[in-house]
Amino acid sequence: MEDSQTYIESGILEQYALGLLAPNERAAVEAEAARQPAVAQELASIQLAFEYYADAHARELPTGMRDRVLSKVLAQVALPTPVAAAPVASAGLRADVDALARPQPAPGEAVVRPLAAAPAPAGRSRMALAASVALLLSLAGNGVLYSRWQNADHELVAMQGNQNRLAANTMVVEKKLGEIRQQNEVLRDAEFRFVALAGTPDAPADKARVLFNAKTRRVYVDVQHLPAPPAGRQYQLWALNNGKPVDAGVLTADAAAGERLERMKDIASAQAFAVTLEPVGGSASPTMPIQAMGTI
């Protein structure tokens, strides 16, 4: 106990912990620590104190440093280990600097300082290991990127489908809007005269309107109610001018169903309008009884 206390008080353990001893002195300290638990305990306590001291000086690292340092280190590490540089020929004081990085000799053992850091095969297998690690990382990375790309692709297809539907829809709406705007113009135009066509006694419920602009000769038909035409038949509009029927065109199914105002053939002059059910395509002159009629 006396013995170990004197040894501890000598300050050599601090020198050891600070890396200030020559290799033979280091070996002696390690031998002493192996022999006397009190010395080993004291040494561990000193080392822990310095760890604490170092840790207390820990700093926030400058930004970007992590990437810079790690990429350089990983690049250097991937290269085969260079033959260890000969230790700087400094005076005995720092001669053990490199010794720290080497195996600490067990007590009693001769201090052997290898001159080369690693034999060539180790370097090669290190390369192989580095290459394997890089390959695995790359494979994993490719897998991740591939699945991300697949997801993105699916989502892109879905988005494009949506966009197409939206565009088609917009076209439909625009067409409809155009029609409605046109109809609105017609309806608001003071030049148009409204001619109500009333059902004949044969078809009293039938009702339609003709809008006629004598200046522009434009004719529109606006069906309120006409029964659906039987197969092979189509409604046809006639303008009666001086008692003579003039073809004003056939009504499309939409127009006959009252879905929209339909523009008919231009008519120069008329006193009345009438609707008949003609064979599909219409006739040159009415062949069937009048379904509805109205005078201007």
Partner 1 sequence: MRDEAPCLTFTHHLTPPIAAGPYPLSFPVSEIPPISLPTASEEDLVRRLQARDESALTLFYDRYAPALFGVISRIVKADEVAEDVLQEALVKIWNSFPAYDPGKGRLFTWVLNISRNLAIDKIRSRQHRVGTRTQGLDDSLAAQRMPAPDSFRPEHIGLQEIVKTLVPEQRQIIDLLYFGGYTQSEVAEELKLPLGTVKTRARTAIKLLSKLIR
Site for partner 1 in 111-150 (CB under 8 A): 117-118, 126, 129-130, 133-134, 137-138, 141-142, 145, 148-149
Chain centre distance of CA 109: 65
Of 98 and 265, the one with the shorter C-beta distance to partner 1 is: 98
Q: Which is nearer to partner 1, 77 or 120 (CB)?
A: 77
Binding status of residue 162 toward partner 1 by CB under 8 A: yes
> 3-state class of 283 per DSSP?
coil
Q: How many CA within 13 A on the CB side of residue 285?
A: 4
Tell me the one-letter amino acid at 255. Answer: A
Measured from the CB atom, the residue of 130 and 214 that comes closer to partner 1 is 130
- Scan residues 11-50 and list those touching partner 1 (CB under 8 A): 11, 14-15, 17-20, 30, 45-50
- Choose, by CB under 8 A, the member of 5, 100, 224, 287 that binds partner 1: 100
Contact between 187 and partner 1 per CB under 8 A: no
Q: Is 192 exposed, middle or buried (0-12, 13-18, 19+ CB in 10 A)?
A: buried
Distance CA 210, CA 282 (A): 18
Candidates 69, 198, 228, 253; binder of partner 1 (CB under 8 A) is: 69
Residue type, 85: A
3 state SS of 125: helix
Angle between helices 23-35 and 37-56 (to 10 degrees): 120
**Minimum distance between the CB of residue 231 and partner 1, rounded to whole angstroms?**
23
- Please state, in angstroms and as integers, the Cα–Cα distance from residue 186 to each residue in 155, 193, 251, 261, following that order: 46, 10, 18, 9
User: Per rule CB under 8 A, is residue 58 in the interface with partner 1?
Assistant: yes
> Among 33, 7, 18, 174, which residue's Cα sits nearest to residue 108?
33
Bridge-based pairing of strands 262-263 and 218-225 is: antiparallel
Instruction: Tell me if 5 contacts partner 1 by CB under 8 A.
Output: no
Residue 155 vs residues 23, 73, 90: alpha-carbon distances, Å: 67, 40, 66
Closer by beta carbon to partner 1, 50 or else 194: 50
Question: At closest approach, how far in Å is the CB of 13 from partner 1?
Answer: 9
Query: Is residue 71 involved in binding partner 1 (CB under 8 A)?
Result: yes
- DSSP, collapsed to helix, strand or coil, labels residue 225 as strand
CB of 277 to partner 1, least distance (A): 25
Measured from the CB atom, the residue of 14 and 252 that comes closer to partner 1 is 14
177 makes contact with partner 1 (CB under 8 A): no
Instruction: For partner 1, give the closer residue by CB, 47 or 287.
Output: 47
Q: Residue 159 is encoded by which pair of tokens? A: 């988005």
* Residue 83 touches partner 1, criterion: CB under 8 A: no
Place of tokens 């419920």: 205
Which stretches of 118-206 are assigned E, i.e. beta strand?
192-199
77 near partner 1, judged by CB under 8 A: yes
Of 138 and 287, nearer to partner 1 (C-beta) is: 138
Cβ 142 to partner 1 shortest distance, Å: 6
Q: Which is nearer to partner 1, 170 or 271 (CB)?
A: 170
Residues 254 to 273: which contact partner 1 by CB under 8 A?
259
Element holding 207 (H helix, E strand): strand 207-213
